[in-house]
């Protein structure tokens, strides 16, 4: 791994943050800004190596294929997958989960089976399973939460029965930043023959992740939440599922096609990547991984943990602000938590809060964050969410707190 660079300095490597020096960007759980290294690598692909992959015999196409496949190897190393062959490029986490729902879900679930979800899930890890349930007759079941909105692990375990075909679970909540105890849950589920999909959209960008140690069957994430371009994502597919039925069919994923039918490539990734992929996006994702690794995932995580503690305590001192989820010091899974804080302000609609903050250049997210079931369980109509990443600083937190205090004053 390259030298650890001091995290505060890196803002100058993000062209958008340089162009907008007053901007306090705190919507990183939605998407992240891109460093010049990623933008340059993507541009260099188009300027130096643009051709379709896996098809041309000519050198330019081989160069394009090489860059694409090198990116796959980087993703495999980043996740500690056994090999690049376990990595399927997709359009994002949503696309990855839909792939599993359609390829694995429709072929393996039937009436009487249960699909176990947690109330912490993003809609991307709920709706595809509801669709599979409709088509197969399987039933979607949710486990419970504790009073502080962390997962009720005992309840989850109780709900794993011989009927459970799949557990689809997030690594980190996109609303509360809290982690799920995957190292306890996954072995428990696997010992009972349950297939496990992990939604890593809020995990992979922030935490060192090892899919082999986790022991999951599938792991999904999006590039754009970890400095890479939009439109590129990843599905890790454990060895035993590499021959599952393809979701999309067409060019590049076949051995042969006749007028009578087609013979598919036998194994992922080829079997599951139909058509021309987002080649430059994959190459950009490779550059984003290089960038993150040049800083170090542990250093990034420590930086975020410090920001989270500071933000939590500064916000909790503002009268009428309610923070959701456990305080950092009460969270036994704090070491796997992401720097996300969600809050409400007594008597002020979250949209008004966000609007007043925007007037001061502070970008936070408002709404239900594609997690309606979680908001229903928390009994709040909407929340404000501030989410941090490696380029955020303590000054950003000071700006958030000052803008929020000001907004409350203005509103009162
Ligand atoms: N899962 C989680 C936990 C998320 O936070 C998100 C996006 O916010 C997604 C899935 C979907 O990601 P995408 O929209 O990039 O497909």
The chain-wide mean pLDDT, for the chain, equals 96
Q: Which two tokens stand for residue 107?
A: 């072929």
Burial class (CB in 10 A: 0-12, 13-18, 19+), 213: exposed
Q: In this structure, are residues 121 and 113 in contact, taking their beta carbons and an 8 Å threshold?
A: no
At residue 4, does pLDDT exceed 60?
no
**370 flagged as catalytic:** yes
For ligand 1, the distance from its centroid to the CA atom of residue 174, given in whole angstroms, is 8
At 5 the pLDDT is 57
What's the average model confidence in pLDDT over 209-236? Answer: 98
At residue 1, does pLDDT exceed 50?
no
* 385 CB within 6 A, ligand 1: no
What's the average model confidence in pLDDT over 329-348? Answer: 96
Q: In this structure, are residues 202 and 338 in contact, taking their beta carbons and an 8 Å threshold?
A: yes
At 411 the pLDDT is 86
CATH numbers and ranges of domains, the chain? 4-30+297-411 (3.90.1150.10), 39-292 (3.40.640.10)
Atom of ligand 1 nearest to the CA of 92: 16
At 8 the pLDDT is 63
By most ligand atoms within 8 Å of CB, the mutation choice from 125, 176, 201 for ligand 1 is: 201
pLDDT, tens digit (0-9, with 9 covering 90-100), for 290-329: 999 999 999 999 999 999 999 999 999 999 999 999 999 9
pLDDT, tens digit (0-9, with 9 covering 90-100), for 84-126: 999 999 999 999 999 999 999 999 999 999 999 999 999 999 9
For ligand 1, the distance from its centroid to the CA atom of residue 92, given in whole angstroms, is 8
pLDDT, tens digit (0-9, with 9 covering 90-100), for 356-412: 999 999 999 999 999 999 999 999 999 999 999 999 999 999 999 999 999 999 988
> CA 218 to CA 164: how far, in whole Å?
16
* 344 CB within 6 A, ligand 1: no
* 229 CB within 6 A, ligand 1: no
Atom of ligand 1 nearest to the CA of 174: 5
> CA 105 to CA 110: how far, in whole Å?
9
Residue 55 pLDDT level (bands cut at 50, 70, 90): confident
Residue 245 pLDDT level (bands cut at 50, 70, 90): very high
């Amino acid at each position: 791994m390259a030298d650890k660079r001091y995290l505060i300095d890196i803002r100058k490597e993000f062209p958008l943050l340089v162009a907008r020096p007053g901007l306090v960007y705190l919507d990183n759980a939605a998407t992240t800004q891109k460093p010049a290294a990623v933008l340059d690598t993507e541009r260099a692909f188009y300027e130096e190596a643009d051709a379709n992959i896996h098809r041309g015999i000519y050198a330019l196409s081989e160069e394009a294929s090489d860059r694409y496949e090198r990116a796959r190897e980087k993703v495999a190393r980043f996740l500690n997958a056994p090999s690049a062959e376990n990595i399927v490029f997709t359009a994002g986490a949503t696309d990855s989960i839909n792939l599993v729902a359609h390829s694995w879900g429709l072929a393996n679930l039937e009436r009487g089976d249960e699909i176990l979800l947690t109330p912490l899930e993003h809609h991307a890890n709920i709706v595809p399973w509801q669709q599979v349930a409709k088509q197969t007759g399987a039933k979607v079941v949710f486990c419970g939460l504790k009073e502080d909105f962390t997962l009720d692990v005992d309840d989850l375990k109780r709900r794993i029965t011989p009927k459970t075909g799949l557990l689809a679970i997030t690594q980190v909540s996109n609303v509360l930043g809290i982690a799920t105890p995957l190292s306890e849950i996954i072995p428990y589920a696997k010992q009972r023959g349950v297939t496990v999909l992990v939604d890593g959209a809020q995990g992979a960008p922030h935490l060192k992740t090892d899919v082999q140690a986790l022991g999951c069957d599938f792991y999904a994430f999006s590039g754009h939440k970890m400095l890479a371009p939009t439109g590129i994502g990843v599905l890790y597919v454990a060895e035993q599922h590499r021959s599952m039925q393809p979701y999309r069919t067409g060019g590049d994923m076949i051995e042969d096609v006749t007028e009578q039918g087609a013979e598919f490539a036998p194994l992922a990734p080829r079997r599951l990547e139909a058509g021309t992929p987002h080649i430059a996006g994959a190459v950009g994702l490779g550059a984003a991984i290089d960038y993150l690794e040049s800083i170090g995932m542990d250093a990034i995580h420590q930086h975020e943990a410090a920001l989270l503690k500071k933000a939590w305590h500064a916000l909790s001192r503002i009268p009428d602000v309610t923070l959701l989820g456990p305080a950092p010091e009460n969270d036994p899974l704090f070491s796997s938590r992401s720097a996300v804080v969600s809050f409400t302000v007594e008597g002020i609609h979250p949209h008004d809060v966000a609007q007043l903050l925007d007037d001061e250049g502070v970008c936070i997210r408002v709404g239900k964050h594609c997690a309606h079931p979680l908001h229903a369980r928390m009994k709040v109509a909407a929340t404000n969410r501030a989410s941090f990443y490696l380029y955020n600083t303590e000054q950003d937190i000071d700006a958030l707190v000052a803008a929020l205090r000001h907004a409350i004053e203005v509103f009162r």
